[in-house]
Amino acid sequence: MSWAVRNDGVQGWRAIEGADELFPNEVYSEFEPVQVMPSLPSIEELSVLAKARRSELLTLAAYRMGPLQDAMDIGCITDVEAKQLLLWKNYRISLNRIEEQDLFSRDFQWPLSPDEILNK
């Protein structure tokens, strides 16, 4: 058995019968390629990803808080809405403090959103 090995920067190969089965982005090999394991992301990469996710969650929180805060501002908020607003404010504070966790960007805990808390 022979192998067609990708040569375009993408990891991968496939078994072939002969060199005539090669695609333009492959080279011929009689040796089975070694499986290369992808490297784990660095602490810096994890930190960038976590901060991007936090920004997405903060945007969602602001979107959910807006109507509740409007009701509070004009004095027509219900007790249920007031509790929801408080939950969203606490959630937003927790998101902003996430970098204070000891294992930030490696193995930290995301706070539960009010939606997750209320739907449990």
pTM score above 0.85: no
Question: Can you tell me the distance from the alpha carbon of 68 to that of 13, in angstroms, rounded to the nearest whole number?
Answer: 55
Position 78 scores a pLDDT of 98
Give the pLDDT score at 105: 65
**pLDDT, tens digit (0-9, with 9 covering 90-100), for 79-92:** 999 999 999 999 99
pLDDT score at 119 = 82
Cα separation, 93 vs 42, whole angstroms: 27
Q: Does residue 58 contact residue 92 with C-beta atoms inside 8 Å?
A: yes
Low-confidence ranges of the chain (pLDDT < 50): none
Residue 87: is it exposed, middle or buried by C-beta count within 10 angstroms (0-12/13-18/19+)? Answer: buried
pLDDT number for residue 36: 67
